[in-house]
Amino acid sequence: MTRPAIAVDYTVLDCPDPAALAGFYRDVLGWRLTRSEDDWVILQGPGELRLAFQQAPDFIPVDWPAHGARMHLDLVVDDMDAAERWVLGLGAQLVEGDADHPTFRVYRDPVGHLFCLCRRG
């Protein structure tokens, strides 16, 4: 059997307020808003990269590390300290620094999704 054409369209994050969380990631990444409805918001990045935010009023963040990460975003940065100051200023919370793993740090976005800042290279 020949593999049919299958590609990733969006990475979708469930959240109570799609516009608010999309605003956080728009400011973090510098991406542009391309679609906004009450329950669905899309950010466009370079090329075909897109993030979508879907309303989920009963969203509960994962209890990490007790229940594992399940899914997270890795964001690549050139200056870890400057990037950390930026995301913390936008409302992220530091979960785990780089003492045990000097190439990345773990954060929660304003609703509790995990993401990492990873040193480029």
Instruction: Specify the CATH number for the domain of residue 21.
Output: 3.10.180.10
Same domain, 36 and 85: no
Residue 116 pLDDT grade (very low, low, confident, very high; cuts 50, 70, 90): very high
Residue 15 confidence class, pLDDT cut points 50, 70, 90: very high
pLDDT (0 to 100) of residue 101 = 87
- pLDDT score at 66: 72
Note the pLDDT of residue 88.
98
95 burial type by CB count under 10 A (0-12 exposed, 13-18 middle, 19+ buried): middle
Amino acid at 31: W
Q: What value does the mean pLDDT of the chain take?
A: 93
Same-domain pairing of 77 and 51:
no
Residues 96 and 106 in one domain: yes
Inside any domain, residue 121: yes
Cα first-last separation, the chain: 38
pTM of the model: 0.91
The parent domain of residue 23 ranges over: 9-58
Q: How confident is the model at residue 98 (pLDDT cuts 50, 70, 90)?
A: confident
How many domains would you assign to the chain? Answer: 2
Same domain, 84 and 108: yes
> Which residue did the predictor score with more confidence, 15 or 66?
15
Residues 54 and 14 in one domain: yes
Per-residue pLDDT at 67 exceeds 80: no
Q: Are residues 54 and 66 in the same domain?
A: no
> Does residue 1 fall inside a structural domain?
no
88 within domain boundaries: yes
Q: Is the pLDDT of residue 59 over 90?
A: yes
